[in-house]
Amino acid sequence: MKRTSVQLADGRELIYFDERDDADRSMPDRRELPPPPPASQLRYDPLVDEWVAVAAHRQTRTFLPPADECPLDPSTPDRSTEIPVYDYDVAVFENRFPSLSDRVGELPAELTPYTPVRPGLGRCEVVCFTSDHNASFATLPPERVRLVVEAWADRTARLSELPGMEQVFCFENRGVEIGVTLHHPHGQIYAYPFVTPHGRAMVAAARRHAEATGGRNLYADVLAAERAAGDRVVAGNEHWTAYVPAAARWPFEVHVAPHRVVPDIPALDDAERDAFGQLYLDVLRRFDALFDKPMPYISAWHQAPVHADRELAHLHLQLFSIRRAADKLKYLAGSESAVGVFINDIAPEQAAQRLRDAG
């Protein structure tokens, strides 16, 4: 793998990850761009002990442009995009409309004594999986998936080193039903200055389990139990298992987890990185085969916090879709959105069987 870091016209960083060592990435960004926007505001909600990002500049971000105006395609002699070169393997760059960044702007005066406000420090990056606008992650060859894993590992390690960062989150949104604003196959990486609410909940549950069992890892025990039960396992190999959680929240939800307890993507060894792509591509293709059309989904890597409680974590990828039937979506209505109680329309065992059949 070859890694090349360059700067875009407005000072944002772009990193190329190439399969060939002789790839030339010296072509400059020919555009004239305004400076990047200042960081968002983080406002504290004391009622639920959570931070909310207010990023008003994102209201003007690019929204579903026609294919010939996609900013994630390679540049051409006649049109410059976010990627200056005319072809690429994997490219990662700072989001032009970030929810979090290191460019601090003015903050408002105190809102109330109970609502502190602080800069939305962090980093938001876009990960382009391929230069092919019409591809999808499921159509990538295994060697390209391996390169994407290397990019995730690189960015997780480097973003974890930034001052004040507490959690790094790699994810992909696919499909207009999910809310994507660009069709080009891509994902994102967020570096947060706090541990996310879901991350805190997982750490708290893992700590309770460790204290009750003499130090056992909660996710490792759950994974072992699912592999032993078998009825919710979708597929697996020597290093990874893909299964539907017994308490799945979404109509079709799969966890893809390594058998070895590791805190994050950089901790995966070469054999685990090789084996991940084989299984993940299989699961993605099963998702698309369920209704014989592209499945909208969110793919989310759950990694350990950067500094604290790393021994309690167990890396895993959560893949889920809001589609519950060929012509029906699951909406997060009152119970889910207002009080956080999910109601699943499909039994996890049925979902697992349908995904096994789809293979």
Q: What is the mean pLDDT of the chain?
A: 97
263, with CB counted inside 10 A (0-12, 13-18, 19+), is middle
Place 163 in a pLDDT band, splitting at 50, 70 and 90. very high
Q: Give pLDDT, residue 83.
A: 98
Q: Give pLDDT, residue 60.
A: 87
- Number of C-beta neighbours around residue 285 at 10 A: 15
Q: Give pLDDT, residue 110.
A: 81
Give CA separation, 324 vs 9, 237, 290, 335, 355, in Å. 44, 27, 10, 17, 13
**Which residue in the list 184, 186, 209, 316 is annotated as catalytic?**
186
Q: Give pLDDT, residue 66.
A: 94
The residue with tokens 């008003």 is 56
Residue 107 scores a pLDDT above 90: no
Q: How much is the average pLDDT of 237-258?
A: 98
Q: Give pLDDT, residue 310.
A: 98
Place 150 in a pLDDT band, splitting at 50, 70 and 90. very high
β-partners of residue 190 are: 124, 169
How many residues make up the chain in this entry?
Answer: 359
- What pTM value is reported for the model? 0.97
Q: Give pLDDT, residue 94.
A: 98
Q: How much is the average pLDDT of 348-354?
A: 98
Q: How much is the average pLDDT of 18-33?
A: 97
Instruction: Read off the pLDDT of residues 38-96 as tens digits, 9 standing for 90 and up.
Output: 989 999 999 999 999 999 889 988 989 999 999 999 999 999 999 999 999 999 999 99
Question: What is the three-state SS of the chain?
Answer: CEEEEEECCCCCEEEEEECCCCCCCCCCCCCCCCCCCCCCEEEEECCCCEEEEECHHHHHCCCCCCHHHCCCCECECCECCCECCCCCCEEEEECCCCCCCCCCCCCCCCCCCCCCEEECCCEEEEEECCCCCCCCHHHCCHHHHHHHHHHHHHHHHHHHCCCCCCEEEEEEEECCCCCCCCCCCEEEEEEECCCCHHHHHHHHHHHHHHHHHCCCCHHHHHHHHHHHHCCCEEEECCCEEEECCCCCCCCEEEEEEECCCCCCHHHCCHHHHHHHHHHHHHHHHHHHHHCCCCCCEEEEEECCCCCCCHHHCCCEEEEEECEEECCEECCCCHHHHHHCCCCCCCCHHHHHHHHHHHC
* Spatial contact of 74 and 99, defined as CB atoms under 8 Å apart: no
Q: Give pLDDT, residue 108.
A: 81
Q: Report the C-alpha gap between 198 and 202 in whole angstroms.
A: 6
Residue 133 designated active-site: no
Q: Give pLDDT, residue 346.
A: 97
Spell out the domains of the chain, with CATH numbers in brackets: 2-194 (3.30.428.10), 216-358 (3.30.428.10)
Instruction: Read off the pLDDT of residues 294-345 as tens digits, 9 standing for 90 and up.
Output: 999 999 999 999 999 999 999 999 999 999 999 999 999 999 999 999 999 9
Residue 105 scores a pLDDT above 90: no
- Number of C-beta neighbours around residue 77 at 10 A: 7
Residue 292 scores a pLDDT above 90: yes
Instruction: Read off the pLDDT of residues 183-201 as tens digits, 9 standing for 90 and up.
Output: 999 999 999 999 999 999 9
Instruction: Read off the pLDDT of residues 12-21 as tens digits, 9 standing for 90 and up.
Output: 999 999 999 9
Encoding tokens for residue 279? 């299984």
